Chains A and B, each alone.
Chain A
Amino acid sequence: MSNLLELHNISKSFGALTALRNLSFHIGEGEVVGLLGDNGAGKSTTVNLISGIHKPTEGYLSVDGKKTAFTCRSDSADAGIETIYQHTALVDSLSITRNIFMGRELTDRFGFLRQAEMREIAMDVLQNAVHISGIDSPDTLVGNLSGGQKQAVAIARAVYFKKRVLLLDEPTSSLSVRETEALLNQVLKLKAENVSSVLVTHNIYHAYQVCDRFVIMSHGTKVFDVDKADTTINQLTEYVVLT
């Protein structure tokens, strides 16, 4: 079985600063991976690299076993990778529907929006694919939503466009306890539908709840890669803190 996404000996430097050194790990089909590490370990650089914002200085990425080079964000989107950022990439002054379809609007051949159709799909995705509490209409402006609801909208976008991997960058940092529960359940639900997720976080407890495997980074490289069955929260904490 080939892995969905693989990183091969990747290094990344910004001038004199080496952010990543010889980093290799993989993400399997329908697998939830926790990418852990303290601040400055290189997690964000890794996310940017996978989503096509940065290019590796050395090494390469492969998707389905085939070597690939992402040159921009839309390359990774085409490969089925959706990044959901800490400060979610949504426009507050637009409705949920318009945000879900932003940049990928359904239009007639003159470029006019097929509004009724988009609204219906948005409604369906919100009700059936992701369960978001407290939203009554896809016409609600995103600016009026809470942090968790916003992330749910971002996930809804990924779900509708049939993404294969979700990269969640510090997804729980600004969420309430209840919203965190909802988000983690969402990740598990997507896994059941064979969508992989990468949880980039320094909250080991949240990661431990849902992840199948953990990749721990320190100083720009991988220091530990272990299945959940073979480790404990204490061991993970030790690796994050002590390496």
Chain B
Amino acid sequence: MTPILADSAAPRSRTQRQSILKQIMGMPAGAIFLVFMTLQIVCIAGALLYPNEFRYLSPQNLTILMKAIPVLGCLALGAGVLMIAGEFDLSIGSVYTFTAVLMATLVGAGVSAFIAAPLGILAGVMIGLLNGHITLRFGLPSFIVTLGGLLFWRGAVLLYNGAVQVRFDPEPIFTSLFSGTLLGVNAAFIWIVLFVIGFHLLLHRHRFGNHVFATGGNPGAATAIGINTNRVKLIAFAIAGGMAAVAGILATARVGSVQPGQGAGLELQAIAACVIGGLSLRGGRGSIIGIFLGVLLIHTMTDVLLLLRAPGFYLDMFIATLIVLAAIFNHLIERRGLA
């Protein structure tokens, strides 16, 4: 049988005529990749031209960057998967602090860090499940439920241990495993790279990832085809909570102590990284590599501004501008149907 509309298929495939630039733009996270590379080229060129004034490539600066990225990276990966599934978690900053305090006090009481850390992650997962359960059981917006979570767990930190710093003194192996160096690369950075690879496989190469995109992209269709969207969302909530705890472990191992107020605002930075990385606030769209590039971009921008001796108080203004520009940019791409 002949194709019914074969003769009308005249227009040649547009992709064939597109330039390489447009092809990159059309890929998931392609646009953010271009922005990131441009920034890197400018920074590296600047550092080579003015090695004394702009110390971007100095080992100290690179180490600072590698140490700073993993914490926000873990938070953003968890928050991002949940966002793609169509829900938010504003409580991850507080959960990050709470689970870190929990782990540090357990270690302080003589528990091995290798037991305390998994317990911290377990606590994060349970809190995530609780958020998810309340959201789905009562059909509430997760924004509201987890806003409650943000305040609740921030208070719980103070109730549990007061407004004091907690020292973290684990076995030396634990410290070197999470904040040592391997071949000159910071261990935490290696962890985040492994997490990025793992999450990429899970979200883009695994059945579960397909269901996450379907759940966030068109919940009605996902249900109609037989996907249990509540289960998918619940798992995503658990991942967000668990990754918040992992971020807490990485941060605590690096610094050697926990401040009760350290997580404030991190949840918004994590969501910002996701938005910069091309995730849609409505769910169903985005990529793991985009989330990671978003994190890298936030930290590179902050770092460059600090190196240029921009006043620290105003950093937020630059980040804010970046977020809004990224959102506008993503919106335009979505409307043109490229992303």
Contact = CB atoms under 8 A, between A and B. Distances in A.
Contacts of A111: 206-208
A92 B218 contact: yes
A111 B210 CA distance: 11
Interface string B1-33: 111111011010101000000000000000000
Given A91-B213, A111-B206, A133 B3 contact: yes
Nearest to B227: A103
A92 B217 contact: yes
Contact of B224 (A85, A94, A115, A136): A85
Contact of A134 (B11, B206, B214, B284): B11
A133 B8 contact: yes
Interface residues on A, range: 35 or more
A91 B5 contact: no
Interface string A111-150: 1110100000000000000011110110001011000000
Nearest to B221: A89
Given A89-B220, A113-B205, A143-B337, A103 B214 contact: yes
B115 interface: no
Given A73-B226, A74-B226, A136-B15, A105 B210 contact: yes
A137 B16 CA distance: 12
Given A73-B226, A141-B337, A90 B208 contact: no
Interface string B192-224: 000000000100011110110110011011111
Contacts of A18: none
B217 A131 contact: no
Contacts, number: 99
A152 to B, nearest CB: 10
A107 interface: yes
Contact of A91 (B8, B9, B222): B222
A181 B8 CA distance: 13
B5 A89 contact: no
A185 interface: yes
Contact of A178 (B8, B213, B214, B218): B8
B225 interface: yes
Contacts of B227: 102-103
A21 interface: no
A199 B229 CA distance: 29
Given A105-B207, A115-B205, A131-B4, A90 B9 contact: no
Interface residues of B, number: 34
B299 interface: no
B285 interface: yes
A54 B66 CA distance: 55
Contacts of B210: 94, 98, 101-102, 105, 113
Given A74-B226, A103-B227, A134-B9, A94 B206 contact: no
Contact of B337 (A74, A102, A133, A144): A144
Contacts of A104: 225
B285 to A, nearest CB: 5
Given A94-B214, A133-B3, A133-B8, A102 B207 contact: no
A63 interface: no
Interface string B305-331: 000000000000000000000000000
Contacts of B206: 107, 111-113
A183 to B, nearest CB: 9
Given A89-B224, A134-B11, A136-B13, A103 B211 contact: yes
A112 B226 contact: no
Nearest to B9: A133
B225 A102 contact: yes
A90 B5 contact: no
Nearest to A145: B337
Query: Which of A77, A88, A93 has the most CB atoms of chain B within a 10 A radius of its CB?
Result: A93
Query: Which of A73, A89, A103, A131 has the most CB atoms of chain B within a 10 A radius of its CB?
Result: A103
A189 interface: yes
A169 B9 CA distance: 27
Contacts of A92: 217-218, 284
A79 interface: no
Please provide the 5 A-B residue pairs with the shortest distance between their CB atoms, ordered closest to farther.
A133-B5, A89-B221, A131-B3, A91-B217, A103-B225
Given A73-B225, A94-B210, A131-B3, 5 more contacts: A91-B214, A93-B213, A102-B221, A103-B225, A178-B8
27 contacts: A73-B225, A74-B226, A83-B224, A85-B224, A89-B220, A90-B218, A90-B221, A91-B213, A91-B217, A92-B217, A92-B218, A93-B285, A94-B214, A98-B213, A102-B210, A102-B225, A102-B227, A103-B214, A103-B225, A105-B207, A111-B206, A131-B1, A134-B8, A136-B15, A137-B13, A141-B337, A186-B4
Interface of B: 1-6, 8-9, 11, 13, 15, 201, 205-208, 210-211, 213-214, 217-218, 220-227, 280, 284-285, 337
